[in-house]
Chain A
């Protein structure tokens, strides 16, 4: 763990105490790198303001918790990161049953928009003064006043289907017409509805409806599954970066329960995480090529990627979704006999990846389609709290592997790749550079991997009421898992934030005044993963969005299907493999 600057810790404590004006209820340090302040909600805005302005704190996510059984009210936590100081700050405030609201911080941090709407939908605490308080993740026909993440809401409850359910979407500005992209659109691969307002071929605005793929994963985590079952569900949050989510969850629990993971396990996690980054970036490069009609890139990058998938299968038994992680370490060792083959495959992939890089860097048509397209300014990237390659391509040098080191990254640190322009081309360059850097990291980790056990022995029950925050730098950016431990051998609250969640919020600004032809590649350059983003809700009811399936018969059929059990909250694997 990298050293936290104690002077900063002291300054943060002083500032928060001063801004609270006597309403600071508690200040604890659950871990060396985590500060937890409980404040009265009246001083929320001023505290958040001081953190953002005084410390350049980066907003990560909000966590709404129904803590009525514990404290008698609802807890709203805002999680911040001081990246340079390797520090997490949790600002907690409470809303009682009588006054179900907290002050909204979206006006201070535009990137908190979705997070606040999400806790409103999930536990029913209203963000007071939110600029856009529409529904975010609940289905359009979900009844009012039913909040799926409250403790008294059973995980298998199915509300009756509603009659006229419409997404609350904005109307186009005068003179513009609507061009729908979605809910099912070929290059998006997953359901998402982008309602583009166009004049001719120019985008003059847009609105979105997402969260069609809710799977109720968080609810299952704190009501049905146990600590050691959740890693398998976490791995299925995403079809591409599954290992990232299971690692991130395990790390959060390990941190909360103060379990020290053996060094060999941390190295193996690093190897698997970087292998995932390599094959994910190759996959993305192919899809990006496909989006602009360059299928040769798609075919070649996926061919280059394939031997890596075979290798993962040899290591874990599966091409994807390895099932290797468990709380405390790993269930399956890395076979040392595979080292020569791994290094050989990496050398081959590296050679071919460099060839691809040379081919695309010199391609004038590719430049024409990506340079200056979908620009995300540095300022806006910071405001929306964008993460991962899109942030780094806009000159925001953040990388969870460096800012909050985990696994073996403190011993083999990565070199960060940044670009300034923030256009699609920069995001291509950042990813290709990262791809080659990941090959180096795997190689270094394979050389340095120590002998020893792969799993810590856990003798005691995990104590309740502990907090654990963990981040993992996924190929798409930083994934966050937050765990508040509970009784019954399961978390009291498990919160997942995938990197696409903040990144998608930057999309409207990136396509403003763009050409229709640039929208798919701009969206693609964020490498969005909708299945990752949409993991909270309990029932999948996408079939009832009347606007899209306006045909009465179709609606009738889909209702019959929905009532005959098609909407069971089973986890579905997202992403293409």
Chain B
């Protein structure tokens, strides 16, 4: 029992550390890509690390008092790290148990909710608008993710992510899982706060929205949380919906996963760069349609495709 605990703990630490260190690197590469499309040179790939380093060293300024408000950035980052321990990153998820799929959905929503609370609590009208937009986005995007994962659960007859992934590896691609994967990918664009869905931050309209009052270490933690969440969800998408090719050799599989995750994030960034921002009502309409379409995946799953 003790050995199992230590092993699980070490795996969790490994996962969390990997997520924490990989996400700024990833962000740096994506910034470089974005700059290239802009015809810019762009900052060095290591810039996000320096950003975090710099912000963490700054004074902790808060627009309002209160212990909860003070703790919100750390709680947000913590919730994302918990998500990192629940999701398979290169290997099986360290915290895997029956029903972890539902926990993943909830934990993924926690960071959004905490950021929303930060916005509402910071006492700025722009942050309040940003938070209400974030709430709307959360409520419209969450069903899409849930439906996509439900397809996997239905097909594999299990509520564990690892189970679905294994089932996928053994049974090969199917129409329903492909549709589910695409739906999850479209949801990822909004969850990662990328254009055309960065509506809750919308610099040009509400000046950073729910994060307008955040600076220094608080901003560093929020930024880090956002980057990490985007990376972890990309891993989730790849592991659950597109786990092939599966070589059965660990280094090869890890490499394949990393390549796929990077390709996915490149796609997310390209969409981000070549689109203007939608209005909240337009984004809502869009995800309603995506949610309805993804029900088709469930239908296909029922008839066994």
| Contact surface of A with B, Cβ cutoff 8 Å | 177-180, 185-187, 201, 289-296, 299-300, 303, 363, 365-366, 368-369, 515-520
Contact = CB atoms under 8 A, between A and B. Distances in A.
Contacts of A293: 195-196, 198, 202-204, 275-277
B198 to A, nearest CB: 7
B38 A300 contact: yes
A201 B280 contact: yes
B51 interface: no
Given A296-B273, A300-B39, A369 B279 contact: yes
B205 A294 contact: no
Nearest to B133: A201
A255 to B, nearest CB: 42
Mostly, the A contact residues are helix
Contacts, number: 76
A186 B277 contact: no
B198 A515 contact: no
Contacts of A299: 38-40
Mostly, the B contact residues are loop
Interface of B: 37-40, 125-126, 129, 195-196, 198-199, 202-207, 273-282
Nearest to B203: A186
Q: Which 4 A-B pairs have the closest CB atoms?
A: A293-B277, A299-B38, A294-B276, A292-B276
A186 B39 contact: no
A341 B60 CA distance: 55
A291 B203 CA distance: 9
Given A296-B37, A517-B205, A369 B276 contact: yes
19 contacts: A179-B125, A186-B207, A290-B204, A292-B204, A292-B276, A293-B204, A293-B276, A294-B195, A296-B37, A296-B273, A300-B39, A365-B276, A366-B276, A368-B282, A369-B277, A516-B206, A517-B199, A517-B202, A517-B277
Contacts of A365: 196, 275-276, 278
A187 B39 contact: no
Given A179-B125, A179-B129, A292 B38 contact: no
Contacts of B203: 186, 293
B279 A187 contact: no
A303 B39 CA distance: 8
A300 B39 CA distance: 7
B112 to A, nearest CB: 19
B275 A516 contact: no
Contacts of B38: 295-296, 299-300
Given A293-B277, A299-B40, A520 B204 contact: yes
Contact of A518 (B40, B195, B279): B279
Contacts of A291: 204
Nearest to B195: A293
A178 to B, nearest CB: 8
Contact of A515 (B204, B274, B279): B279
A576 to B, nearest CB: 15
Contacts of A515: 279-281
Given A185-B207, A293-B196, A520-B205, 17 more contacts: A179-B129, A180-B125, A289-B276, A290-B204, A293-B203, A294-B276, A294-B277, A295-B38, A299-B39, A300-B38, A303-B39, A363-B276, A368-B279, A368-B282, A369-B276, A517-B277, A520-B204
A516 B206 CA distance: 9
Contacts of A518: 279
